[in-house]
Structure 1
């Protein structure tokens, strides 16, 4: 009789363990069974019925939207984030493969279909070049140039002149100094200062020529060539 109860107890214990493992497996599968929208050239505004949009399975349960554009009407790519990129819901600026990227993470089924996420955790962190009297032309390998962490995510270049040979300082932008990429004249400590802002990884090496400037120079060159042919 004692042997019978022992065998019965072992059978009940074994059955309970199997059922417990099955329940745990089902719960894990349910949490990981998360589908995300995927598109490398997503329509803007986003349309899940578009031919460019598919659905992909996420083993981690995380979905993401990513862009390098800081404008209000930024166009996002959507899909499964690389491992370790997403840890909390929301948006933040991260440096990915040397490119400053806005990453929006979420962990609900097909959650990365918003046209513009409202939850923002950034911009957070960046690396900028720093020098008080920068070499001219700029040389990032110079002993006068170092790298500095930017808590605001912005890098800046400051000068009192827009001349080609003007003295320039570079560094991390302080809070509220930069609100958009590009150059503008600002009154800093009662001094009219040219401030150039950017938020790519170590982006404050120089200022790219604007499209309008390029167009103006191109037009001037064409006019010059036509004038020479006429005489």
Structure 2
């Protein structure tokens, strides 16, 4: 393995960026470039361990995950139920070409320095899927650490991400991007509820897990904001 020096803790990342003009924009563009390069690898060249079952449909699979999460809620969420209906009605077509997706690129899974992005961490969730999912996940408000005016990790703009991604060969679709942003917000909120449920039913006792459900309201708010 190779050691890469730099900052990884989100607050330290944001402090470093605040001390260097244009560093946030640079890192955002480098993330866009890195994702474009990753997504250029066709499914046919992906490691066998990443390949899904034959006929895998990422859009349908994502919707089914939301439906399953709603069924498992201990307390109903009218907001997420409404969002689920929106997601079904506005679902994009399945991608004509699936690619490798990292699935967790965000502030907290990157190494940065004064020269910009040095590495992307935590590849254990990599799989085959819709490339736009990767791009949308970077915008989750939870990864902005109160710097809500900069949707990419609290340090960059969607315009910078988009321009770099397209410049390096990535295919961008605004409607699909928005759909995935809503989907991922809802799915993450349902995931928070699932963590709390694991504590309550005794399958995984943890005070931290039990407190996760308190953040559901934040994700409900975020989802409604995206649907405005």
TM-score, normalised on structure 2?
0.19
Larger Rg: 1
Higher helix share: 2
Greater relative contact order (CA < 8 Å, ≥ 6 in sequence): 2
Structure that is richer in strand per residue: 1
